[in-house]
Amino acid sequence: MSLLKVDDIHVYYGAIHAIKGVSFHVDEGEIVTLIGANGAGKSTTLNTVAGLLKPRSGLITFDGKSLNATPAARIVSQGMALCPEGRRIFQQMTVKENLEMGGYTRPPKEIPGSIEEMFTRFPRLKEREKQIAGTLSGGEQQMLAIARAMMSRPRLLMLDEPSMGLAPILVEQIFDIIKELHAAGVTILLIEQNAQAALSIADRAYVMETGNITMEGPADDLLHNDDVRKAYLGD
Amino acid sequence: MISLLSTLLNGLSLGSVYAIIALGYTMVYGIAKMLNFAHGDVIMVGAYISFVAIFYWGLPPILGFLLAMVVCTVLGIVIESLAYKPLRQATSLAVLITAIGVSYLLQNSAQLIWGANPKAFPAMFSLPDASLFGGSVTISNNTISLLNDQLKISGNMILTILACVAIMVVLTLFINKTKMGKAMRCVSEDKGAAELMGVNVNLTISLTFAIGSALAAVAGVLLCASYPSLQPTTGAMPGIKAFTAAVFGGIGSIPGAMIGGILLGIIEKLGQTYVSDQLGDAFAFAVLIIVLLVKPTGLMGKKVHEKV
């Protein structure tokens, strides 16, 4: 059974029909990526899965339970975390406080241990533990955003454009981190404009265009598909 | 010299009241991104409740005080859920106008219930008469006299300043150390991201109104203890002044509200003593204009830059 199943969802921003019947699924242990141009509806899809937006019709199920009526704040504790586009860390709080907030739904006594785990995985964050998050570099902020999402111990981690605005060397680091988290047993749903990088680490991929999924398949196949290469890989 | 000291103490005491009210303005602004112009009238309700409880029902002052806090807390939550919550997605102008409407509703309801005539708010408590340090410090009529009777400090002044300090310490600890306080800071920065962490945003906003309104009740009682005339418009002027203080300190900033409130009180009293007794209010608002011209973000206000 799929861990996450999205079935024919339609999402509107006011009168604008942003998502027009999108269906996809993510199985336990996979890395799945949604690729597509700016404005294709990738972020809207992820925000809907995370509960920030509600679909007008269609069904979202996680681990067999419907999430349609669940508010965003209650979805985290079901085992799903979204690391949002633009990172959206709490700029005026310290690195440590950001991590604490990531574990908001968990019992307080488990938090210090989890923060130590994150510091082991992200030594740069340990160095900056007491620093105000807004003063971190872009790469460090992205690491903090991922670590913060991981603090809720998600079974499914959704990442929205984690490489956005980062230097190539940092992009590589971020993708290494994603691979590590995956190796540690986290299922991953990834949105990327950097289709090359996303397809090379993903198991399966979906291509989105103007609110629809237009292509899907094993990531390797899409990586070598001529249409995909022309449209998204700059060939 | 002694007159200056006495003016500063008076200013500190008045400023403490402004600071307590400004905290309510600034917290609500920080979290709900709205100016709750009905905040000043919650002060007035708090003052009436304690007045009624103490002088009609004969409750001990401390109970009247606590009752005022409870009633105002509930009132704050009710106002938020009835008047402001339905406007969460509306333009800020709609919310502002609603807040002004709530303000008039409270004033007129108070007039209906308690009448328009000012009520004399008698002393809440009194210091025991005493003569200390060989007569160099004497206490009589709830007033401490120092330096050969030249410097007089009223018991209310001391109570007000102490209450303000206690509130600042407790609130700072709450905001920085508790889970709920941190959640409030998150909501104030980014509601969506806070929701993704599992924070119940609506509950957090209600809590903010509850805290702000409880503080308004405290301010109402302290204000009327020092300036003992209570009428339905009692809260309006201190409310606007505290709003000025919040902007002065940097709206949305808690330390800013504290510092802004105290400085505003001192500036107002200095102006009254040394320039013109009639122009105290004008000084307070001149401060607002100067701050908006020179540093629109206020003393402690922050501009947040996005980093790429």
What is the interface pTM, i.e. ipTM, of the complex? 0.92
Q: Give per-residue pLDDT as tens, B200-209.
A: 999 999 999 9
User: What is the number of alpha carbons within 13 Å of residue B82 lying toward its C-beta?
Assistant: 9
Q: Give pLDDT, residue A37.
A: 87
Residues B280 and B277: their CA atoms lie apart, in Å, by: 6
Most confident of A76-85, A165-174, B281-290: A76-85
**B244 band by pLDDT with thresholds 50, 70 and 90:** very high
Q: What share of chain A has pLDDT > 90, as a percent?
A: 84
Length of chain B, please? 308
Q: Give how far A19 is from chain B: nearest CA, Å.
A: 20
Q: Give how far A65 is from chain B: nearest CA, Å.
A: 18
What average pLDDT does range B60-68 have in this prediction? 92
Query: E-strand spans in A14-134?
Result: 16-26, 31-36, 57-62, 65-66, 80-83
What's the mean pLDDT when you consider all of chain A?
93
Subunit contact B195:A71, Cβ cutoff 8 A: yes
Residues A112 and A97: their CA atoms lie apart, in Å, by: 11
Please name the residues in contact with B223: beta carbons below 8 A apart, sequence gap of 6 or more: B17, B43, B47, B234, B238
**A114 band by pLDDT with thresholds 50, 70 and 90:** very high
Residues A32 and A106: their CA atoms lie apart, in Å, by: 27
Residue B36 has pLDDT above 90, yes or no: yes
| Tokens encoding A135 | 């003063």
What is the C-alpha radius of gyration for chain A, rounded to an integer number of angstroms? 17
Q: Give per-residue pLDDT as tens, B119-154.
A: 888 777 666 777 777 666 777 767 777 766 677 788
CATH of B2-121+155-293, one of 3.40.1800, 1.20.140, 1.10.3470, 1.10.287: 1.10.3470
In chain B, where the domains are located: 2-121+155-293
Closest partner CB to A134 (pick from B197, B201, B304): B304
**A235 band by pLDDT with thresholds 50, 70 and 90:** low
Q: Does B189 touch chain A (CB under 8 A)?
A: yes
Q: Does B175 touch chain A (CB under 8 A)?
A: no
For chains A and B, count residue pairs whose Cβ atoms are closer than 8 Å.
76
What average pLDDT does range B265-283 have in this prediction? 89
Q: Give pLDDT, residue B303.
A: 60
Q: Give pLDDT, residue B122.
A: 74
Question: Which residue shows structure tokens 């600890």?
Answer: B173
What average pLDDT does range A142-168 have in this prediction? 94
What is the C-alpha radius of gyration for chain B, rounded to an integer number of angstroms? 20
Least confident range from A13-22, B20-29, B166-175, B274-283: namely B274-283
**B306 band by pLDDT with thresholds 50, 70 and 90:** very low
Nearest C-alpha in A relative to B181:
A101
Subunit contact B197:A152, Cβ cutoff 8 A: yes
Q: Does B286 touch chain A (CB under 8 A)?
A: no
**B308 band by pLDDT with thresholds 50, 70 and 90:** very low
Q: What share of chain B has pLDDT > 70, as a percent?
A: 94
Length of chain A, please? 235
What's the mean pLDDT when you consider all of chain B?
89
Q: Are the C-beta atoms of residues B254 and B171 closer than 8 Å to each other?
A: yes
Closest partner CB to A104 (pick from B199, B305, B307): B199
Closest partner CB to A52 (pick from B192, B197, B304): B192
